[in-house]
Amino acid sequence: MTFKGVLNADTGKGTISRHIYGHFSEHLGRCIYEGIWVGEDSPIPNTNGIRNDVVKALKKIKIPVLRWPGGCFADEYHWKDGIGPKEGRKRMINTHWGGVVENNHFGTHEFMQLCAQLGCEPYINGNVGSGTVQEISEWVEYLTFGGVSPMAELRVQNGRKEPWKVTYFGVGNENWGCGGNMRPEYYADLYRRYQTYVRDYDGNKIHRIACGPNSDDYNWTDVLVREAGRYMDSITLHYYTLPNDSWEDKGAATGFDEKAWFVTLKKALKMDELITRHSTIMDKYDPERRVGLIVDEWGTWYNVEPGTNPGFLYQQNTIRDALVAGLTLNIFHKHNHRVRMANIAQTVNVLQAVILTEGKKMVLTPTYHVFDMYKVHQDAELLELSLDAGSYKLDDSEIPAVSATASRDAEGLIHISFCNLQHQAEAKVVIDLRGLAFDGLKIEGSTLAGEKIDAHNTFEQPDAVVPQPFNAFGLENGKLSVTLPAMSVTALELKTE
Ligand code: AHR
């Protein structure tokens, strides 16, 4: 089957914010502890306690922003427990996630050190559910105030003279659920109050983020933006992709059939509808689109790997996850006028992780490779690409067969990324290239494809699913034809001379 499209290479549709490629790391399972933080005395190579291999891998994909410390953990976290000499830090039970002991060895200084090593911006999520206004206000003062004040002095005592730069601050997490089971009217008032004390010190401008809806809770968005929209810079959206409709049996990460493949992709595609509908509500109160939508938790959520702690949310990651990542990033690009940031959940060892670790071993997942292939779109100009996406049918249901996006970067290189959602069929795409010169046009490609439906990387076989050079394309009469393998994410770079 041939899918036809038109790329208008001279029609820009706005910048794709690099922050769409953000990540989320919570004190959950082995994400922070083991996955990122191993401590200064660990035999695992580290810099100031932070794993070197993980930092190197995340820098390669140009991680732009990292959200921390949760998640549900954020609304139980009291930041003062995580500063000062480590041996004196409080130990507590991580009640949400596995009931394990949290020793608070990874706290504010360690997180800011991590961001410095990664060269990324910090996005700190404050505690509204069980924390006070004073706590939030003092945390911001501790982080960003350079003058004379109790918190600035405490920071200096703890070894950090200069204030840090903190760009993003979240006022609560999932306050409709684990963050306090609030009603939107109540949270809207609390948000207005708490954000008042998230101060901008010394020229540090904080982007204030309100806790937005759970997937299709449109009432939450309506009430919150109506009542508190003028006090926020962005509102969040959380949406997870579960193959099954049950939280008790979400579906397996590997060993699934075509039905589970299809349903998972169909559910991931729902992100488009969610963003469209939440944006439409926001348009009512904010037609200028001053307030951004931040999808700060997204990704697949399966049953945990057999034999692992159910509270640790550790799951494998296959070519199916790569397709979910690719098509979701394509959706975020399309909504670049409202979606200013997104944070995949979660960076290491939890949910749709880009990295898995086991002791000193590390493996990069298929999702990692999609982030690597797509990094060229960060801060690039979205281009107008219309494509007949065809249809992939299973039983009485159908989804698009192909999803694609295109952008032009600062050097003038055009990048087109394709996802072939079909389990077994190749897809031939023919794109009419308009608005660019063909003389001397050079094209290079790479593809990430699965040999089987649940192809994945393991510690024994870390390179089972990695990008391969791709040359199944041709140029004729101003048309680019590409043959996409089944179950693949493919990237093309077009260079004109
Ligand atoms: O990412 C795992 C959890 O999912 C987060 O802690 C919470 O915010 C969401 O429900």
Domains of the chain as residue ranges with CATH? 2-10+382-495 (2.60.40.1180), 17-378 (3.20.20.80)
What are the angstrom distances between the C-alpha of 486 and each of 130, 267, 363, 418? 48, 19, 24, 11
Q: Which SS3 state, helix, strand or coil, does residue 155 take? A: helix
Q: In whole numbers, what is the pLDDT of the chain averaged over residues?
A: 97
48 C-alpha to center of ligand 1: Å? 28
74 C-alpha to center of ligand 1: Å? 10
Q: How confident is the model at residue 182 (pLDDT cuts 50, 70, 90)?
A: very high
Spatial separation of the C-alpha atoms in residues 496 and 143, rounded to whole Å: 46
Residue nearest to atom 5 of ligand 1 (CA): 71
Q: What is the dihedral of CA 45, 77, 59, 416, to 10 degrees?
A: 140
- pLDDT value at position 154? 98
- pLDDT value at position 424? 94
Per-residue pLDDT of 355-400, as tens digits, reads 999 999 999 999 999 999 999 999 999 999 999 988 999 999 999 9
Helix or strand run (H / E) with residue 2: strand 2-15
Q: Is the pLDDT of residue 497 over 80?
A: no
Residues with a CB atom less than 6 Å from ligand 1: 26, 70-72, 173-174, 297, 345-346, 351
Mean pLDDT, range 13-34, rounded to an integer = 98
Q: Which SS3 state, helix, strand or coil, does residue 167 take? A: coil
Residue nearest to atom 4 of ligand 1 (CA): 71
Mean pLDDT, range 411-440, rounded to an integer = 94
Q: How confident is the model at residue 437 (pLDDT cuts 50, 70, 90)?
A: confident
Q: Is the pLDDT of residue 439 over 90?
A: no
Q: Is the pLDDT of residue 476 over 90?
A: no
Ligand 1: which atom is nearest the Cα of residue 345?
1
461 C-alpha to center of ligand 1: Å? 30
Catalytic residues: 174, 297
Distance of CA 362 to the CA centre of its chain: 20
- pLDDT value at position 1? 78
342 C-alpha to center of ligand 1: Å? 14
- Predicted TM-score (pTM) of this structure: 0.97
Q: Which SS3 state, helix, strand or coil, does residue 283 take? A: helix
Distance of CA 235 to the CA centre of its chain: 15
Q: What is the ipTM of this complex?
A: 0.99
Query: Are residues 447 and 491 in contact, defined by beta-carbon separation less than 8 angstroms?
Result: yes
Question: Which residue from 25, 72, 95, 312 has its CB within 8 A of the most atoms of ligand 1, so it is best to mutate?
Answer: 72
What percent helix, strand, coil does the chain show, rounded to 5?
30, 30, 40
Return the minimum-mean-pLDDT range out of 58-62, 75-79, 296-300, 493-497: 493-497
Backbone angles phi, psi at 2, to 5 degrees: -110, 135
Tokens 């200084």 locate to 109
The radius of gyration computed from the CA coordinates of the chain, to the nearest angstrom, equals 23
